[in-house]
Copies of this chain bind each other. A is one copy, B any other.
Amino acid sequence: MGVVISFEEEQAKAETALARLTALVADDMVKVNQTIIQKMQSPVALIPQLAGHLIASGGKRLRPMLTLAASRMCGYEGIRHAELAACVEFIHSATLLHDDVVDESDLRRGLETANAVWGNKASVLVGDFLFSRSFELMVADGSLEVLAILSNASSVIAEGEVMQLTTANDMDTTEDAYMQVIVAKTAALFAAACEIGAVVAEKPGTKQDALKSYGKNLGIVFQLIDDVLDFSAEQEKLGKSVGDDFREGKVTLPIVLAFRRGDTAERDFWRRTIEELDQKDGDLEKAIDLMTRHNALHDTVERARHYGAIAKDALAIFPDDATRKAMTDIVDFCINRAY
């Protein structure tokens, strides 16, 4: 993509960043995973079955890791952060269950989605259960400040998801409108996950603000790259199908850029495929070809680098230790997922 350094090298470094962050929080993650398993139990057998299917399906657990790392970077030495990290993962899991219903997805992380196995009804209701359970856990922790941050993040996420519904199939969506959607639906939970690390460590003010800003911008990076990956062969390695967004008519940034940079015939192509969802064999390949011709995928990654730089700078006020280094390098890990 016009860069001279070796992608393999970059990628290896990025993978190392994830491994380093994972190692730094490994002991705490044991507790997080125990809490998750314990709190998703219910006498209603379908609940742990369905929730377990999703939760055991091997996500990176990036969001709870961020809560753990953020609190440690703020000097926290207690154990409350592990339960709060589990809350974050529960909220994330609940939104995934509802997302898969809304997107009519069949595949997540290489496995059938819960809605494909147990149906939409069960996915909606178990999502509601995990969401409620997460609030029960927060209440047990007892911090009204954490509750305020995560309940606000939850309603912002829902707003973002509804906003996304209303921009779907609309080629007049601007980059700004797209950004508003992803800041709400994705970045809000990353921001909250990091921010509560400072709250639990009782570091209000500068550190809390810095972590919130880091999380928000990292979340933007994560979603931008996710949207690039939907058109990339790399996606298949992650157990997802290529072109899901295209088939659903989701207007992501690569499509916004390709549309705006295209000529009249190209814009007609986008209106037919995305607005009218009138798609033929070969249309996905043509879409990827147009994106490549107009550097739409490349420039979406460039936009991600911009937000990634803000995320890294936000951390600069923390002591230069292994945790800060791992969190800084995670930004590059998220960007390099694109290759």
0/1 string, A116-141, CB within 8 A of B gives 1: 00001110111011011101101110
Question: At the interface, yes or no: A98 with Cβ under 8 Å from chain B?
Answer: yes
Judge whether B151 and A132 touch: CB under 8 Å. Answer: yes
Q: How far is the CA of A308 from the CA of B26 in the complex (A)?
A: 54
Question: At the interface, yes or no: A44 with Cβ under 8 Å from chain B?
Answer: yes
Chain B residues with CB under 8 Å of A34's CB are none
**Distance in Å from the Cβ of A98 to the closest Cβ of chain B?**
5
Chain B residues with CB under 8 Å of A98's CB are 124-125, 128
Decide: A144 near B155, CB < 8 A? Known: A101-B124, A129-B162, A162-B122. no
Q: Which residue of B lies closest to A123 (CB)?
A: B124
Chain B residues with CB under 8 Å of A142's CB are 144
Chain B residues with CB under 8 Å of A163's CB are 44
Q: How far is the CA of A158 from the CA of B50 in the complex (A)?
A: 13
Question: At the interface, yes or no: A195 with Cβ under 8 Å from chain B?
Answer: no
**Distance in Å from the Cβ of A321 to the closest Cβ of chain B?**
33
Chain B residues with CB under 8 Å of A140's CB are 148
Judge whether B155 and A136 touch: CB under 8 Å. Answer: yes
Chain B residues with CB under 8 Å of A147's CB are 135, 139, 147
**Distance in Å from the Cβ of A40 to the closest Cβ of chain B?**
11
Chain B residues with CB under 8 Å of A157's CB are 128, 132
- A: number of interface residues (CB 8 Å): 42
Q: How far is the CA of A186 from the CA of B140 in the complex (A)?
A: 24
Question: At the interface, yes or no: A102 with Cβ under 8 Å from chain B?
Answer: yes
**Distance in Å from the Cβ of A134 to the closest Cβ of chain B?**
9
Question: At the interface, yes or no: A165 with Cβ under 8 Å from chain B?
Answer: yes
0/1 string, A152-192, CB within 8 A of B gives 1: 10110111011101100000000000000000000000000
Judge whether A44 and B159 touch: CB under 8 Å. Answer: yes
**Distance in Å from the Cβ of A99 to the closest Cβ of chain B?**
9
Q: How far is the CA of A50 from the CA of B120 in the complex (A)?
A: 21
Question: At the interface, yes or no: A47 with Cβ under 8 Å from chain B?
Answer: yes
**Distance in Å from the Cβ of A87 to the closest Cβ of chain B?**
11
Question: At the interface, yes or no: A57 with Cβ under 8 Å from chain B?
Answer: no
Question: At the interface, yes or no: A62 with Cβ under 8 Å from chain B?
Answer: no
Judge whether A144 and B154 touch: CB under 8 Å. Answer: no
Judge whether B124 and A44 touch: CB under 8 Å. Answer: no
0/1 string, A82-118, CB within 8 A of B gives 1: 0000000000000100100110000000000000000
Cβ-defined partner of A159 (8 Å) among B47, B95, B135: B47
Chain B residues with CB under 8 Å of A158's CB are 125-126, 128-129, 132
Chain B residues with CB under 8 Å of A125's CB are 98, 102, 158, 161-162, 165
Subset of 8 A-B contacts with CB under 8 Å: A44-B162, A45-B166, A102-B120, A120-B120, A129-B162, A132-B151, A135-B154, A142-B144
List 11 other contacts, CB 8 Å, given A98-B125, A120-B120. Answer: A42-B162, A44-B163, A98-B124, A101-B124, A102-B120, A102-B121, A125-B162, A128-B157, A129-B162, A132-B157, A139-B148
